[in-house]
Amino acid sequence: MSAISQTRRGAPHDARPRRLPPAPPLLAQGVIWAGAAGVLALWWTGTGSVVGPAGWLTGAGRITGLLAGYACAVLVALMARVPLLDHNLGSDRLARWHAMGGRYTVSLVLAHTLLIIWGYTLTSRNGVLHQTATLVLDYPDMLKATAGFLLLVGTGVISARAARRRMSYETWHYLHFATYLAVFLAFGHQLSNGADFVGRRPVQLGWYALYMTVAALIVRYRFVAPVRRALRHRLRVADVRPEAPGVVSVHLTGERLTELGARPGQFFRWRFLAPGLWWTANPYSLSAPALPHHLRITVKEVGRHSAALARLRPGTRVWAEGPYGGFTEARRRSAKVLLLAGGVGITPLRALFETLPGEVTLIYRARRPEDLALRAELDAIGATRGATVHCFVDEPATHSAPLTARALKSLIPDLAAHDVYLCGPPGMTSAARRALRGAGIPRHRIHHESFEF
C-alpha cells in the first residue's frame, strides 16, 4: 500500500493513563428499567382479583397504558439535551434509544387502545363501534386523548425509515415536534379515567412530578439555554473559506466562548440567522479547538442547509446550542490512540489530533486527493507533535488501501493496544468496525459517534 503523505513519529505528548469509570449506559438503563418496574408495581398494588376474559383484557390494557405513559416521559427526557446525559452517554446513543423506545411506545399505545376497547366491550355487551364511541365521547378528557393518539401514531409513521428517506431532515425534525403536543393532549385522560390513579392522591402527585420534571428539562435545555447563550456570546460569521470540493470552513467570532465548555470532538447545533436557514438548527462538529473569541466548523455539502453555508456573509448572527456529544478524550483508556477518519468525518478528529496527549496515529481516507480537507493542517500538526499521518484515497489506485484488519495491522503492528476514534460515512464506519474487531480491539475501545439523528 502507498500513503499519499506520512509524518514520522517522534516524541509523543505525555500520556495520561486512565481507569475504567462506571458504565454510564448500564446505569442509565438500570434507572429506566427500575422506573418501569415501579409502574408495574403501581398496577399490582391497585388491582384486586382478575376474573374472566373481560377482566384480563382490561387489566392488560391498564398495564400497557401505564407503561406507555411512563415511556412517553422517558422518550421526551432522552431528547431534552440534558448535558449530564448527553456528555456521558453520547447524543447518538440517546437518539438510538429514543428511536427504539418510540417503536415500543407506539406499540404499547396501540395495544392499550385495542385491549381497553375489547375489554369494555365484553363487559358492557355492546358492539365495538358503540363502545368506542362511548369511550371517546362520554369519558372525561378522551377527545383530547384521541387526538393525542392520532398524533403519536402519525409521528411514528413519519419516523419509519421508509418515510424519513422521502423528506428532508428539517421537515422531519419539525413534524416530530407533534410528539410534545400528543403527550400533552393524552396526559389528562390518565388521571381522569385510570383506575390506578382515581382516588389515589399520592400516585397522582407522583405522576404530575414525573411529567413536570420532564417538561422543566425541555424548557430549560431546549429553549431557555439557547436564547441565553445567543445573548451572552453574540456569535457571528467572520469568514467562509473553501477547504475541498464541496467543503467549506465557517469561522465564527464571539464573546467569552471558553465559557461554553466545548471540548475537542464535540458538536453544536447551529442556527444561522440568514434567509432560508434561521428556522432550523443542524449539528456540525468543531474542526479546531475552541478559542476565547473564535470557533470553526468544517462542513461538506450534502443537502440544502449545508450547501447554503458556503454563501453565508460575514456578520451573520448565529445561535449555537451545545456543546453536545461524548466523543472526547474522556472516552480514552489507552496510552496509544488511532484516529480513523473518512471524508468530512475528519472534522472532530482534527480537533482531537491537535489536543490528545500521548502517542497518536491518524489515518485519513477520501475518494480523491483533492477531497482530503484540512490536509495541510493535519501534516503541520503531525510534524509539530511528531505523530504519524497516513492519507489514502480510492483514486488513483496506487494510493489506495483496503480497510481490513490485515492492512491496518501492517500500518500499526501494535494496533490491539490502541484506543480508536472513528468518524466517517456509514459504509466506511461499518467496514472499519469489522476490521478493528478482527484486529483484536475490544468493542469498548472503539469510539464512534454518529450524526444521523
d(CA 63, CA 69): 10
Task: Please provide the distance, in angstroms rounded to a whole number, between the alpha carbons at the two ends of the chain.
Answer: 35
Provide the 10 A C-beta neighbour count for residue 4.
18
CA-derived radius of gyration, the chain: 26
pLDDT at 34: 94
Q: Are 359 and 9 within 8 A, CB to CB? A: yes
Please give the chain's pLDDT, 453 residues, in tens. 445 555 444 444 444 444 444 467 888 999 999 999 999 998 888 777 777 888 899 999 999 999 999 999 999 999 899 988 888 888 888 988 998 999 999 999 999 999 999 999 998 888 899 999 998 998 888 999 999 999 888 888 877 776 667 776 667 777 777 888 899 999 888 888 888 888 889 999 999 999 999 999 999 999 899 899 989 999 999 999 999 999 999 999 999 999 999 999 999 999 999 988 888 888 999 999 999 999 999 999 887 778 889 999 999 999 999 899 889 998 898 889 999 999 899 999 999 999 999 899 999 999 999 999 999 999 999 999 989 899 999 888 777 788 999 999 999 999 999 999 999 998 899 999 999 999 999 998 999 887 654
pLDDT at 170: 67
pLDDT at 311: 92
Which CB contacts under 8 angstroms, 24+ apart, belong to 430-434?
A: 431/403, 432/340, 432/342, 432/403
pLDDT at 273: 93
pLDDT at 265: 94
pLDDT at 452: 59
What residues contact residue 30 under an 8 Å CB cut-off, 6+ apart? none
Distances 86 to 92, 104, 186 between C-alpha atoms, Å: 9, 22, 28
d(CA 321, CA 265): 15
d(CA 442, CA 435): 12
pLDDT at 282: 87
pLDDT at 4: 58
pLDDT at 52: 86
User: Whose grid coordinates read 432550523?
Assistant: 280
Identify the CA nearest to 86 among candidates 267, 288, 284.
Answer: 267
Cis? peptide before 402, omega within 30° of 0 = no
Residue 335 φ/ψ, nearest 5 degrees:
-75, -20
The model carries a pTM of 0.79
pLDDT at 61: 92
pLDDT at 162: 65
d(CA 143, CA 185): 9
